Amino acid sequence: MSETRTTTLLVIGGGPGGYVAAIRAGQLGVPTIVVEGRQPGGTCLNIGCIPSKALIHAAQEYERAREYAGASPLGISVQAPVIDIARTVAWKDGIVSRLTGGVEALLKKNGVQLVRGWARVLDGKTVEVDTGQGAQRIQCEHLLLAAGSEPMPLPSMPFGGKVISSTEALSPTAIPGRLVVVGGGYIGLELGTVYRKLGAEVTVVEAQDRILPTYDAELTKPVAAALARMGVQLCLGRKVLGMNAAGDAVRVQDASGAETALPADQVLLAIGRRPRTQGWGLEALQLDRAGNALRIDDQCRTSMRNVWAIGDIAGEPMLAHRAMAQGEMVAELVAGQRRRFAPAAIPAVCFTDPEIVTAGLAPSQAQAAGLDCLAAAFPFAANGRAMTLDATDGFVRVVARRDNHLIVGWQAVGRGVSELAAAFSQSLEMGARLEDVAGTIHAHPTLGEAVQEAALRALGHALHI
């Protein structure tokens, strides 16, 4: 074994939370080492957020080209397009490579040492890293756990063979004729939509009685309607029993106990993700848990002094931008600053077609919290920019307190609404009231005008509906 290295901050995991924590610590002059077994960027940059959005874009362009091969209302006509999926995947991989290379460069620029290898926790101050060329021991003053999450398997349907996770789905070598997606959450629907647009017959199986069960039902209706138009089959309220004996169909059971077999050339298992807490010695620390996740306080401290946890390993919401914000805060705390993690809201985006974005409280959540709120929605059918994009499905909705008009939540569904997330979050963080948004001049023609109109409607004087 080589000589033991020492550092002030040791980060396990180079994903969005880990690398941001390391960069910020480096900026503040804190000696920092990051241990990462794969490429920097974690799940998000390598096998999650970024590659999935690249494939979503490619699938959308391919679908649009196929529409132009028919009778396009825009007056555009082309010959029937074809897609070279190998080139598409290579283009996606190029984006990933540029981003992960950029992260590595930023770490180096800020004096952070990157150790490539797999960490095993020995105690709260010591980690052993398998670098593939021997073991290396690192001792630290502060240990930051940012190991992320992993796809959840089904006991009746383990990964392997025809059953793939989102990781394999993001690097297809061919498009299956028939794809069964197990799980009607955002991962399953995003990737199911991609494969449908690329030509696969897609069936989505969901145990609940509607898709995207964690989202407000009103927001999911336009998504369900779009899936139906695309030809995606939905099997709701169904339990998955596993593959059939021949291995060419998925056995599902409805509430009455009746069993059906869904033919499948490939199965995408997307029932969720779980904190990556197994297989790297974490149990040696005996940290307090919150279910499968590590329990943390509002400074991301665990139950052991100077051991911190951020991102997916610390539970829901499992969002890259939450991990980034937590990582930045922990770095500043280690550097001696005073911080705590208390955001007014953390936005969430579902990149289906149409997209969904939420921030803060939905009407039902506000009611459950004992707040007397009013809610108002403005439809994109009345928005000029949405018409020019041929994307009038959906709406923007605001939720505000009735007594003082303080905005407590925003929701939207529609094409391109993910870009409204910044405006939603900023208004909540700044404590905006309906009058603040309604009185702000919004550029015309933009989808953002629907934000202003929703606030105006809540005040009783929307202008364009």
Of 375, 381, 411, 377, residue with least CA distance to 393: 381
Q: Interhelix angle for 85-109 vs 49-68, to 10°?
A: 150
What CA–CA distance (Å, rounded) separates 67 from 81? Answer: 10
Region at 345 (left for phi over 0; alpha for psi -120 to 50; beta for the rest): beta
Using pLDDT thresholds of 50, 70 and 90, give the confidence band for residue 134: confident
Is the pLDDT reported for residue 41 higher than 60? Answer: yes
pLDDT of residue 67: 84
Of 135, 147, 148, 139, residue with least CA distance to 33: 139
pLDDT in tens, 181-237: 999 999 999 999 999 999 999 999 999 999 999 999 999 999 999 999 999 999 999
Q: What percent of the chain has pLDDT over 90?
A: 94
pLDDT of residue 77: 84
Segment 15-21 mean pLDDT: 97
pLDDT of residue 78: 82
What CA–CA distance (Å, rounded) separates 206 from 185? Answer: 8
pLDDT of residue 5: 94
Mention every residue, 6+ apart, whose C-beta is less than 8 A from residue 83.
Answer: 58, 62, 198, 199
Segment 365-375 mean pLDDT: 97
Using pLDDT thresholds of 50, 70 and 90, give the confidence band for residue 2: low
Report the chain's C-alpha Rg in angstroms.
Answer: 24
pLDDT of residue 75: 86
3-state secondary structure of 274: strand
Mention every residue, 6+ apart, whose C-beta is less than 8 A from residue 422.
Answer: none
What's the chain's average pLDDT?
96
What CA–CA distance (Å, rounded) separates 32 from 8? Answer: 6
- Two tokens, residue 253: 């059971």
Segment 161-176 mean pLDDT: 96
Active site members:
444
pLDDT in tens, 395-410: 999 999 999 999 999 9
- List alpha helices for 340-410, DSSP H: 363-368, 384-388
- List alpha helices for 338-448, DSSP H: 363-368, 384-388, 421-429, 434-438
Segment 261-285 mean pLDDT: 96
What CA–CA distance (Å, rounded) separates 176 from 188? Answer: 16
- Lowest mean pLDDT across 66-70, 86-90, 168-172, 417-421: 66-70
What CA–CA distance (Å, rounded) separates 142 from 8? Answer: 6
User: Which residue type does 321 have?
Assistant: H
Give 157's strand partners: 154
- Two tokens, residue 178: 């028939």
Is the pLDDT reported for residue 132 higher than 90? Answer: no
pLDDT of residue 448: 96
Q: What is the DSSP letter of 382?
A: G
Q: What percent of the chain has pLDDT over 70?
A: 100
